[in-house]
């Protein structure tokens, strides 16, 4: 089963524990779409990381308004959905977030 998870949270290796647990399940092929950069108010600019020994793919994707959780948008026509063709799509954003709406529109 192909699973695609999207969200800015998974840019940092420390936050990829859920991905590690999912990737260990038998028959699961896992990928994550994350912004190519992110601005945190108390930190410098974040760049995507991949935990050592990760059994999943990370797809850093260009975004506009990086750092604005509700308004950032991916600058991608299909958000890698055509290439990956996931069976399950999990978008971890608020229901009103632009990125969430993008994935809803692209999944059709």
Q: Give Cα 41 to chain centroid, integer Å.
A: 20
The pLDDT assigned to 108 comes to: 65
**44 pLDDT more than 70:** yes
Give the residue, 41 or 56, on which the prediction is more confident: 56
Indicate the average pLDDT of the chain: 93
How much is the average pLDDT of 53-81?
Answer: 95
Range of the domain at 26: 2-106
Nearest to 75 by CA among 43, 106, 41: 106
Name the nearest CA neighbour of 50 among 72, 75, 32, 76: 32
Give the Cα separation of 88 and 90 in Å (integer). Answer: 7
Note the pLDDT tens digit of each residue in 90-107: 999 988 999 999 999 997
| Angle CA 2–27–107, to nearest 5 | 10
Q: Which pLDDT score is estimated for 94?
A: 86
Rounded Cα–Cα distance for residues 9 and 82 (Å):
23
Reported pTM: 0.92
Provide the number of structural domains found in the chain.
Answer: 1
Are 35 and 66 within 8 A, CB to CB?
Answer: yes
Read off the DSSP letter of residue 61. Answer: E
pLDDT at res. 85: 96
């Amino acid at each position: 089963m192909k699973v695609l998870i999207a969200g800015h949270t998974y840019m940092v290796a420390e936050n990829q524990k859920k991905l590690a647990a999912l990737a260990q399940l038998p028959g699961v092929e896992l990928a994550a779409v994350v912004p190519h950069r992110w601005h945190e108010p108390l930190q410098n600019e974040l760049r995507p990381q991949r935990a050592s020994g990760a059994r999943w793919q990370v797809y850093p994707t260009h975004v506009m308004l990086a750092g604005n959780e509700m308004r950032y948008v991916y600058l991608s026509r299909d958000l890698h959905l055509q290439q990956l063709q996931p069976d399950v799509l999990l978008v971890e954003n608020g229901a009103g977030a632009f990125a969430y709406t993008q994935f809803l529109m692209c999944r059709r």
